[in-house]
Amino acid sequence: MALTVPCVAVRGSIGISVGQGPPSYEAVKTFPKDDSKTCKAMAFSPEGRYFAWVNGITAKVLHCDTWKIVTEIKKPKISVIQFSSLGTYLMTLEPFIATQSSPQGTPNLHIWKSESGELVKSFKQKKQTDWEPQWSSDEKICGMIVGADVVLYEDANFEKIVHRINIVKVAKFSISPSNTPYHILCYMPGKPGQPSFGRLFQYPKFEATQAVANKSFFQADNVNIYWNNAGTSALLMTSTDVDKTGASYYGKETLHYLDAKGETAIVMLSKNGPIHAVQWSPKNTEFCVVYGLMPAHATLFNLKCEAVFQFGALHRNSIYYNPQGNILIMSGFGNLRGGVELWDVGQRKLIAKTEAPDTTFLQWSPDGEHFMTATTAPRLRMGNGFKIWHYTGSLLYERPWNEQEELWEVLWQTFPPDTFPEKSISYKAVEGIAPSQPQASKQAYRPPSARGGTTTFKLHDDEEFGISKTSEFNKSAKKTKKKTNKVKKDSEASASSQSNYNNRSTNGQVTSTKTQNATANVPECDDAERCKKMKRIKSKLEQISKLKELLESGKQLEINQLDKIKKEADLLKELEELTL
């Protein structure tokens, strides 16, 4: 490639432009910038050879090596575009319109040669979702749904249907991303009172008895299909619009597994609630699922659908593997506050945490070291712009939009596979910049009557330990005395409880006498704020003791619970300083 650094394409109310990624972030001067305010779509071809966009007048295709336009397609009504697997063909869709002169409508789905703009074939397509023909990874076969059947073509010869899947009605299908042997997974909805099916076929054997794998299920109004990159295993997520049991307002989801060896299974999840996200690792040997009512669980599964690692429970709803598969992002966007976690997948270790509020889009760079977050319209019309981050959580670049402009889409330039090899992971944060927009305040609200003094209370201070408490500002000596006495009584009770736990071994560590003495011998004090803080620390230490007991008994703890245990020494030191 002419550019060794991935570029970023931007589409918005001020047109389309392309800029270099880190470290320069400069505009690509050879790109023919389009200032049109009606740019409806843009796309890079999967293997990185072409870039195309639509501006309401024509569809333009350029070569990414030179950023020179190679073809123009003068079709002003094109609304959606997509490339074939190797970028050889560009597919365009226009709105389907039926008129009195043409009650059956006119062809609105067109397939063109990317290099020359030559029209290959036109079809009628009424659907605006799942409209695109599907290609095998080598473009040998191409398939699309016509009525209730899947029709298949070979070698881009659309004049002859080579095979047809028409056992029963097919509502959705997906061609595996692998080379030969090709596999095709079909979703066949059942009639009322009868099960639906997911059937996996090996091309070109499409009789019902020739299915490689079958999975039946009830309660499926919608189905999403997820292949691993090798095309050997697939996940089928079924969902209903309404949960008839009344357990959920949003319906019910179930996750099923099928593979080319004929194995099938249902993925068992440890928490009730919706399935928020599913993602295969690019390494093809595991997949991650975020599920359950908030705070949601995140679990890593192997190819036997066995849980191999728990990421703990947090407010999250999205998963993003980097292209190399060694770093995983889990985040909470939409109605969540934008928390971002970056994990070392191989070591099962948290690399960093950061926050990207109001994010509507996240995408990894092909280099696997940087990722981009964006706030786009029409989802959000305020605060549009995008940011580029390093995987250690450092913000490297920020491009805000002014209030009169809208950002619609941002895309990383694509590259051929294996262009960027996997690199070792560093846990040391790189140097970054401060965000231009002020972050939301994390200070607790204090009423006017309580302002002007000092306080040790912290917002969400106890929530990390699974506790929700309310702190009141003391105005009288009487309340202060009551609280002080309660601290003393709790300390005496704690001393008795801690004596039963003395010198027990927990995960190779022995609970020290210092911990018991520190929590038991909390002296009476006259400073109300200091007493509150001492009580809070003592409560956390008691929780840590209980967690240690659970760990000793053989119970598997989650990541956040193990992190609490690690904080014991710091809490003891803080308590000791308060008692001086």
pLDDT in tens, 20-53: 999 889 999 999 989 999 999 999 999 999 999 9
pLDDT of residue 239: 86
* pTM of the predicted protein model: 0.72
Beta bridge partners of 61: 52, 71
pLDDT in tens, 426-461: 999 888 888 776 555 444 445 555 545 554 444 443
State which amino acid sits at residue 64.
C
pLDDT of residue 449: 55
Q: How far apart are CA 327 and CA 343, in angstroms?
A: 6
Residue that wins the pLDDT comparison between 393 and 552: 393
Q: Choose among 226, 251, 228: nearest CA to 236.
A: 226
- Say what percent of the chain tops pLDDT 90: 51
Q: What is the mean pLDDT of residues 451-473?
A: 39
pLDDT of residue 447: 58
What is the SS3 assignment for 493? helix
> Is it the case that residue 482 has pLDDT exceeding 90?
no
Q: How far apart are CA 131 and CA 142, in angstroms?
A: 13
Degrees (nearest 5) of the Cα angle 130, 83, 409?
Answer: 80
Confidence grade of residue 525 (pLDDT, cut at 50, 70, 90): low
Q: Choose among 381, 474, 388: nearest CA to 432.
A: 388
Q: What is the DSSP pairing of strand 395-400 with strand 172-175?
A: unpaired
pLDDT of residue 202: 92
Choose the weakest-confidence range: 194-198, 211-215, 331-335, 461-465. 461-465
Q: How far apart are CA 282 and CA 346, in angstroms?
A: 13
Q: How far apart are CA 354 and CA 481, in angstroms?
A: 41
Contact, 305 vs 553, CB < 8 A? no
Degrees (nearest 5) of the Cα angle 276, 279, 280?
Answer: 155
Q: Choose among 515, 489, 494, 520: nearest CA to 503.
A: 515
Q: How far apart are CA 297 and CA 307, in angstroms?
A: 12
pLDDT of residue 8: 95
pLDDT of residue 100: 80
Q: How far apart are CA 142 and CA 294, in angstroms?
A: 41
